[in-house]
Structure 1
Amino acid sequence: MPGLPGLPGLPGPTRTPTAPTAPAPRRRVAVAGVALSDCGRVDGPTPYALHAQAARRALADSGLDRSVIDGFASAGLGTLAPIEVAEYLGLRPTWIDSTSVGGSTWEVMAAHAADAIAAGHARAVLLVYGSTARADIKARRRTANLSFGARGPLQFEVPYGHTLVAKYAMAARRHMHEYGTTLEQLASVAVQARANAATNPDAMFRTPLTVDEVLSSDMIADPFTKLHCCIRSDGGCAVLLVAEDLVPDTAKAPVWILGAGASVSHTTMSQWEDFTVSPAAVSGRQAFERAGLTPADIDLAEIYDAFTYMTLVTLEDLGFCAKGEGGAFVEKGRLLRDGELPVNTDGGGLSACHPGMRGLFLLVEAVRQLRGEAGAGQVTKAGGRLPEVALASGTGGWFCSSGTVILGRG
């Protein structure tokens, strides 16, 4: 009798041939609940409290019981994120994600969660974020070390004082040099974001801006003045993703995850081949291919805008205009709520809120718009119809990472 390899005399297992089985069909994934915590100027609550507030509100928005949550995603808080935050919320998930790639973290996490739900590894995944970035500075609390790269590859740039804003400024200057993009075009991004914020009661800044006001504000890092840069706020938000079998039990019509993509580029500026191309060029292409859609199908876009240049170059890389044409594209009100392509309909990080990592807020606003829940800031199409398809694209680091998610009502 033949034995197991390497063990003479021991009989091998007896196996009965079985017919191959077809793989289980992948489940569709929907956004069932979204919510913001208190945002803007929030003194008193801890980041944990903002996580909890947003999570409770998102769960209430979904109409589901907390017992359905078996997946949890969180980053940026706690010694063992997301375990510590899950414990604070009273959750014991069997699927977790603590991906941390900067501002695009939440789009990348949403892609991971959607894949896990589609494959049957989880049924309902809660993504949650909260930060008291503004309050911490006001109270002179030191919560993070912003001197990136004391070790590792970045150590070769740190001694020269190359700050995060300077990295973005260098990229913007390169785009201006290559394609003739103007300061006025960049400033128009901030002006339109502020106009969109005017109809958002949760926005931190709502007073209208002019291009001249943006250009004449204090210089931060050439060519960026203060109003080219995002605000610093407090706040949190949460998104609940569920398998399609839970949708009949939800309180509102579902918003479906149609496609998603993720990509990384560089950390050291010397390893970035082209300052005018962001990793959204890859994550966007992936998301569109997986959704079976094109940029022409998108009714509105929520794009990470820590700086005005981010909006412009991400629009190019996602395919809404050709490379080098972003400056002309953002002019003449195209990004306004009633414009050709509404962008950052809540006011974005430039005017609404930016508590550290804004990526999850992009998903919340996209879902609210598709549901028709944006109030005076609601985007409508011809005949007063609600938008059908929205895109959320987050950027991390200094164009180091990108995550793009396409969502739809149909």
Structure 2
Amino acid sequence: MSNISGRYAVAGIKASDVDGFITNQPLNDAHRSYAVRMANMARMHPNYATDLALGGATPIAMVQNAVMAIEAGMANTVMCVHARKRGTPDPSPGNPIRHGDEHWEEPWGHFSAVANHAFAAQRHMYEFGTTSEDLAHVAVATRKHACMNNNATMRKPMTIADHQASRFICEPLRLFDCALESDGGGAVIVTSAERARDFPKKPVAILGMGQHHPHFSLMDAPSLTTLGGKKSSELAYKMAGLNPKDMNFAEIYDCFTITTMITLEDYGFCKKGEGKDFVKNGRIEVGGELPVNTHGGLLSQAHIEGMLHVTEAVRQLRGNEVEPERQVKNAKAGIVSGHGGSLCMHASLILGAL
């Protein structure tokens, strides 16, 4: 609710000005018509409302659904809110949302996100010679950005040696390869270009978007080193009329360091298998060739299932809304990724400055 009231204040609007509402299903207390419930609590009476459950692809899918609702004439101004409570105990009385494959995989010990992504990391290492120390460069760069972010959880600098000294969680992934568990939320408002001109804040354009979901169970995945991001990003680039070289930054879903590396490859920033070299020598830091996760990402800012990746991209493109030391200079376009489930769901979003 605090995110909703905050968006009203920033956008200079009232609840009655919002006629569309999209949110995420709670992880530990699934509801029917949850978006309608939340809209009612916020004193909204939307013409369009829905809640989504695509894991880490949900925040981007919210924006995409908002665009479609506006284009279809079902709404004019849509609020997208995503919140998560995982850092502290959740008092909700309900049951966790189901994965759908519990009976087939969990009895054999395959029941966690880190196990899923450890499979991908092992395969990337087997196919391309990637090492744990290569993954460390992703974690170190992300932490460097978090240290510049006053709203980040982890603000203690990290070295390659620190990463390598952290314990294994599920080999080959170490503690510092894994995202945080966090409480928090974020929100954005999507509206038409015409209406956006009346808002007090500088708007940001939605240039391109895509989704691709190549499998459901990890056991059915056609590949563990090329994921849905390849097709999803191709759709977004085509819609935007842009290519990877046009991106001034990338906010990449980083539940694990291997996810960042694979997505950078899938998004065309380097060839498949070259991610281990692409992430080195400051290339993905602010001031480098492609700043990645300029806010600290899930690894070091907070794990809100990627919603803060979207809000960070908006702030970067508006300019002068983040700490000066982590502002990407002359940012005109950026890409945001969302990744969910057993490496099975993916959504892409390209935003541009106006």
TM-score range, shorter chain: over 0.9
Partner of 2:331: 387
- Describe the superposition over 1:260-307 as per-residue Cα deviations: whole angstroms up to 9, x where unpaired: 101112222221011101101111011000011001100011111010
Please say if residues 63 and 250 of structure 1, whose CA atoms lie closer than 8 Å, have aligned partners that are also in contact: yes
1:159 equivalenced with 2:100 (yes/no): no
Partner of 2:326: 378
Partner of 1:250: 199
Distance in 1 (CA, whole Å) between partners of 2:159 and 2:224 is 28
Partner of 1:396: 340
Distance in 2 (CA, whole Å) between partners of 1:57 and 1:368 is 15
Question: Where do 1:19-38 residues align within 5 Å?
Answer: none
Distance 1:197 1:221, change over 3 A: same
Partner of 2:350: 406
Partner of 1:365: 312
1:134 equivalenced with 2:98 (yes/no): no
- Cα shift at 1:118: 2.5
- Cα shift at 1:403: 0.6
- Cα shift at 1:365: 0.4
- Cα shift at 1:147: 7.4
- Cα shift at 1:88: 1.5
Partner of 1:56: 5
Partner of 2:135: 186
Distance in 1 (CA, whole Å) between partners of 2:41 and 2:197 is 29
Question: Where do 1:87-98 residues align within 5 Å?
Answer: 87-98=40-51
Partner of 2:65: 112
Answer with 1 or 2: which has the greater Rg.
1
* Residue identity in the other structure for 2:68: D
* Residue identity in the other structure for 1:61: V
- Cα shift at 1:114: 0.9
Please say if residues 200 and 377 of structure 1, whose CA atoms lie closer than 8 Å, have aligned partners that are also in contact: no
Distance 1:68 1:403, change over 3 A: same
- Describe the superposition over 1:323-382 as per-residue Cα deviations: whole angstroms up to 9, x where unpaired: 111111111111111211011000000000014xx222111000011111112343333x
Partner of 1:37: none
Q: Secondary structure at the match of 2:55?
A: coil
Please say if residues 136 and 143 of structure 1, whose CA atoms lie closer than 8 Å, have aligned partners that are also in contact: no
Please say if residues 346 and 377 of structure 1, whose CA atoms lie closer than 8 Å, have aligned partners that are also in contact: no
Please say if residues 370 and 409 of structure 1, whose CA atoms lie closer than 8 Å, have aligned partners that are also in contact: yes
- The structure 1 segments of at least 4 consecutive aligned residues displaced by more than 3 Å after TM superposition are 141-149
* Residue identity in the other structure for 1:295: P
Q: Secondary structure at the match of 2:162?
A: helix
Distance in 2 (CA, whole Å) between partners of 1:353 and 1:87 is 28
5+ long unaligned stretches in structure 1: 1-51
Mean Cα deviation higher: 59-68 or 327-336: 59-68
Distance in 1 (CA, whole Å) between partners of 2:243 and 2:181 is 34
Partner of 1:44: none
Please say if residues 300 and 391 of structure 1, whose CA atoms lie closer than 8 Å, have aligned partners that are also in contact: yes
1:197 equivalenced with 2:146 (yes/no): yes
Distance in 2 (CA, whole Å) between partners of 1:86 and 1:277 is 38
Distance in 1 (CA, whole Å) between partners of 2:94 and 2:76 is 34
- Cα shift at 1:143: 6.2
Percent of counterpart pairs with the same letter?
A: 38
Distance in 1 (CA, whole Å) between partners of 2:103 and 2:309 is 32
1:232 equivalenced with 2:181 (yes/no): yes
Partner residue of 1:334 out of 277, 280, 283: 283
Partner of 1:353: 302
Task: Give TM-score scaled by structure 2 length.
Answer: 0.94
Distance in 2 (CA, whole Å) between partners of 1:71 and 1:92 is 8
- Cα shift at 1:66: 2.6
- Cα shift at 1:201: 0.3
Please say if residues 70 and 93 of structure 1, whose CA atoms lie closer than 8 Å, have aligned partners that are also in contact: yes
* Residue identity in the other structure for 2:318: R
Please say if residues 148 and 158 of structure 1, whose CA atoms lie closer than 8 Å, have aligned partners that are also in contact: no
- Cα shift at 1:68: 1.8
Aligned residues: 348
Cα RMSD (Å) of the superposition?
A: 1.7
Please say if residues 218 and 343 of structure 2, whose CA atoms lie closer than 8 Å, have aligned partners that are also in contact: no
Please say if residues 217 and 342 of structure 2, whose CA atoms lie closer than 8 Å, have aligned partners that are also in contact: no
- Cα shift at 1:319: 0.8
Question: Where do 1:275-286 residues align within 5 Å?
Answer: 275-286=224-235
Please say if residues 62 and 250 of structure 1, whose CA atoms lie closer than 8 Å, have aligned partners that are also in contact: yes
Distance in 2 (CA, whole Å) between partners of 1:348 and 1:380 is 15
Please say if residues 154 and 267 of structure 1, whose CA atoms lie closer than 8 Å, have aligned partners that are also in contact: no
Mean Cα deviation higher: 160-169 or 56-65: 56-65
Distance in 1 (CA, whole Å) between partners of 2:102 and 2:245 is 39
Distance 1:409 1:147, change over 3 A: closer
Partner residue of 2:163 out of 214, 219, 231: 214
Task: Give TM-score scaled by structure 1 length.
Answer: 0.81
Please say if residues 194 and 205 of structure 1, whose CA atoms lie closer than 8 Å, have aligned partners that are also in contact: yes
5+ long unaligned stretches in structure 2: none
- Cα shift at 1:79: 1.9
* Residue identity in the other structure for 2:96: N
- Cα shift at 1:405: 0.6
Distance in 1 (CA, whole Å) between partners of 2:349 and 2:99 is 28
Please say if residues 97 and 109 of structure 1, whose CA atoms lie closer than 8 Å, have aligned partners that are also in contact: no
Please say if residues 196 and 336 of structure 1, whose CA atoms lie closer than 8 Å, have aligned partners that are also in contact: yes
Please say if residues 116 and 343 of structure 2, whose CA atoms lie closer than 8 Å, have aligned partners that are also in contact: no
